[in-house]
Amino acid sequence: MKDSQSLGDTPPEEFRKQLHELADWIADFREHIEQLRVAPDDKPGAIREQLPKRAPEEGESFKKILTDVDHIIVPGMVHWSHPMFLGYFGWTSTAPGILGEILSAPLNVNAMTWRTCPAATELETVVIDWLRQWVGLSDEFEGVVYDTASVGIMHALAVAREEAAPATRQLGLTDRGLPRFRIYTSDQAHSAAEKASIALGLGEENVIRVPSESQFRMDIDSLGRSVAHDRQNGFHPMAVVATVGTTATASVDRIPEIAKICREEKMWLHIDAAYGGGFAMLPEYHWITKGWELADSIVINPHKTVFVPLDFSVLYVRGLERLRRVFTLVPEVLRGDTIEGEKNYMDYGIQLGRRFRALKAWVIWRSLGRAGVVARLREQIRLANLLADWIKKDDRFELSAQPSMGVICFRFIESDEKKLDQLNSDIVERINASGRAYLTQTKLRGRTVMRIGLGNVLTTEEHLRNGWELIGNTAADM
Ligand SMILES: Cc1ncc(COP(=O)(O)O)c(C=O)c1O
């Protein structure tokens, strides 16, 4: 009997066959990924054109669906798991990560309360604490898993808002004679602060971008001046979002000095360690954790640097009860589920239904162990420094920022200064269109630069050397 014709589920024998087929598909994909183009060269709409406009009336076979994945979906993708994918923050697909992700599919639970899945809830608490210990964060911090850092910062700032304007949870912000609240972050920080401000009704314009100094760290004097200026003008300085591993250059803000200002001014300190946080596992990177104990909240994205497949982001709050107070709200239908003594993670955010994300983290972290994670992060750093050395030795290029963690920003400089921005952008575009490698471009101090973000376990020194040759040859051809 065809699976599409039966009521209920696919018959077990047929399902088993499909799973074996899928297992082979996944293993082949992983083994031969290097033979794929890193990115497609299609025009927008090219994939849609190959797909029917209406959903099928009758069910179709898995074989047919998988054939379309091969012919339409895979060629239409940017392959973040490709060893020549060097853009954004390099991705962290690993075989154990894939296994963890697959394992969670048949379980398919809703981890909203302890009772709706004790194992999901308790495992979440366990893996959050493993990571806390790995990065050396004090046990005053407890956490919650969200999908992304952007969601984490929104929740952190919701608590900051509640503490600055008590009863906002009940009454909202309007018609209460409240001052305008300000949030400070550097001009290098991620736009997640603005997104959070928009969502929380604090207003995008109330996120103040503090200038950064020569090493792309928040300028502390400017922060102090901005806060003082705002106070004099009737604003209420509410929070600072400091960054450990900024998006463009992976620079690290001077947290102890920022924390001191936050303490003096009674502002919430949120640390965005979405990218950089994972590197705190390395003893030689312990310096990035200075001042963390003074923070109110910290976000770390293990899906960026601790090898968990997207999505998995942890928000740590010093005194997690502060977060619970803002978001706990038990619908009548769940009242019986809210057992005392264990966490109900629905109480720690706006989301009710929650995936069993902890499972994949548990699988990958057990598979690699702390030592395996650390060794792989060290290799990323070694490769990043190697590339930086090649750039320094080549007169046609210059480093645009100190290499940090797995991030290197650089610029082709062998041309008329006026043409350089366009030229650097064109080099990146041409390489990306070639399908042979994938880089990012960004602006630093108003100048366009090329940017490589390492992180893929499949990227070896040989891949990086090939990438560097491709960059050099493409620049020479322009
Ligand atoms: C420093 C930093 N913070 C926050 C984010 C947002 O991360 P997410 O995609 O998890 O929301 C990014 C994204 O790259 C980032 O680089």
- Is residue 320 within 8 Å of residue 142, measured between CB atoms? yes
* 272 CA closest ligand 1 atom index: 3
Residue 87 CA to ligand 1 center (angstroms) comes to 14
Question: Does the beta carbon of 274 sit less than 6 angstroms from any atom of ligand 1?
Answer: yes
Best CA proximity match to 468, nearest among 420, 396, 364, 403: 396
* 245 CA closest ligand 1 atom index: 1
Query: Which pLDDT belongs to residue 334?
Result: 74
- Write out pLDDT tens, residues 299-350: 999 999 999 999 999 999 999 999 999 999 887 777 777 766 678 999 999 9
Kind plus residue range of the DSSP H or E element containing 171 = helix 168-171
**Amino acid at site 104:** S
- Is residue 162 within 8 Å of residue 326, measured between CB atoms? yes
Residue 137 CA to ligand 1 center (angstroms) comes to 20
- Is residue 389 within 8 Å of residue 465, measured between CB atoms? no
461, HSE (Cβ side, Cα atoms, 13 Å): 8
Residue 313 CA to ligand 1 center (angstroms) comes to 10
- Write out pLDDT tens, residues 395-426: 999 999 999 999 999 999 998 999 999 999 99
- Is residue 185 within 8 Å of residue 193, measured between CB atoms? yes
Question: Does the beta carbon of 150 sit less than 6 angstroms from any atom of ligand 1?
Answer: yes
Count the residues in the chain: 478
pLDDT per residue of the chain (478 residues) written in tens, 0 to 9:
454 456 899 999 999 999 999 999 999 999 999 999 999 988 899 999 999 999 999 999 999 999 999 999 999 999 999 999 999 997 779 999 999 999 999 999 999 999 999 999 999 999 999 999 999 999 999 999 999 999 999 999 999 999 999 999 999 999 999 999 999 999 999 999 999 999 999 999 999 999 999 999 999 999 999 999 999 999 999 999 999 999 999 999 999 999 999 999 999 999 999 999 999 999 999 999 999 999 999 999 999 999 999 999 999 999 999 999 999 988 777 777 776 667 899 999 999 999 999 999 999 999 999 999 999 999 999 999 999 999 999 999 999 999 999 999 999 999 899 999 999 999 999 999 999 999 999 999 999 999 999 999 999 999 999 999 999 999 999 8
Question: Does the beta carbon of 145 sit less than 6 angstroms from any atom of ligand 1?
Answer: no
Question: Does the beta carbon of 154 sit less than 6 angstroms from any atom of ligand 1?
Answer: no
Question: Does the beta carbon of 190 sit less than 6 angstroms from any atom of ligand 1?
Answer: yes
Residue 191 CA to ligand 1 center (angstroms) comes to 8
- Write out pLDDT tens, residues 103-149: 999 999 999 999 999 999 999 999 999 999 999 999 999 999 999 99
Whole-model pTM above 0.75? Answer: yes
- 192-199 and 149-164 are packed helices; what angle lies between their axes, rounded to 10 degrees? 50
Q: Which two tokens stand for residue 198?
A: 């928009």
- Is residue 90 within 8 Å of residue 383, measured between CB atoms? no
Question: Does the beta carbon of 247 sit less than 6 angstroms from any atom of ligand 1?
Answer: yes
Q: Which two tokens stand for residue 61?
A: 């076979």
* 311 CA closest ligand 1 atom index: 10
* 147 CA closest ligand 1 atom index: 10
Query: Which pLDDT belongs to residue 23?
Result: 98
- Gyration radius of the chain over CA positions: 24
Question: Does the beta carbon of 434 sit less than 6 angstroms from any atom of ligand 1?
Answer: no
The preferred substitution site among 275, 313, 451 for testing ligand 1, maximizing ligand atoms within 8 Å of CB, is 275
CA 339-343-346 angle, to 5 degrees, is 95
Closest residue to atom 9 of ligand 1, CA basis? 148
SS3 for 332? helix
Question: Does the beta carbon of 192 sit less than 6 angstroms from any atom of ligand 1?
Answer: yes
Residue 244 CA to ligand 1 center (angstroms) comes to 11
Closest residue to atom 16 of ligand 1, CA basis? 247
Residue 67 CA to ligand 1 center (angstroms) comes to 34
